[in-house]
Amino acid sequence: MHIALGLAVELALTALLAVTLVYCIVLERRLAAVRKGQESIKAVIGRLDAAISKAGASMHALKATTAGAAEQLDDRLKRARSVIDELSLLTASGERIAQRFDRAADESANHRTAQRIDRAAEETAFERTAAIISHLPSNNIMKRLDALRAVR
């Protein structure tokens, strides 16, 4: 019986060794698949690293470009502000000149109106004087004499 027990233990160990061997073969295949996947992951990681490096270089180039553009924009803004200041001065000066012209035109118009009023007053005074003179008796006599002379 001792032999049968030893044989049973050896058969059990042989079966366990066979199961272990099959398990090791399956495990080896899985590890090989992982290694293949690991190689593809390395390739993907390498491409990703290259893309990140290119993106970093592009970012540095973009920063340099924006810095240059910002300097140009600042320069243009400074020039624009100086032109705005100059135009403001010119506009203010033009407005003052226009106000002077307006005042001169108003004064000229007032002066012409005053002259017209003075002339109208003089004409009115002359007409009154003429009306008064025409009603004087000496004027009537002069008209009669002129009429007689014209008849002769």
The mean pLDDT value for 86-90 works out to: 84
Which pTM value belongs to this model?
Answer: 0.40
d(CA 12, CA 18): 10
Find all residues with CB under 8 Å of 133, minimum gap 6, and list them: 139
Query: How high is the pLDDT of residue 25?
Result: 95
pLDDT tens-digit map of 53-69: 999 999 999 999 989 98
Tally of CA atoms within 13 A in the half-sphere of 128 that contains its CB: 6
d(CA 108, CA 102): 10
Query: How high is the pLDDT of residue 129?
Result: 65
Query: How high is the pLDDT of residue 78?
Result: 92
Q: How many CB atoms lie within 10 A of CB 11?
A: 10
Selection from 77-81, 114-118, 132-136 with the highest mean pLDDT: 77-81
Q: How many CB atoms lie within 10 A of CB 139?
A: 13
CA distances from residue 131 to 42, 56, 89, 120, 141 in whole angstroms, order as listed: 127, 108, 62, 16, 16
| pLDDT at residue 123 tops 70 | no
pLDDT tens-digit map of 96-121: 888 887 787 777 777 777 777 767 66
Query: How high is the pLDDT of residue 132?
Result: 61
Query: How high is the pLDDT of residue 134?
Result: 59
pLDDT category of residue 141 using cuts at 50, 70 and 90: low
d(CA 58, CA 52): 10
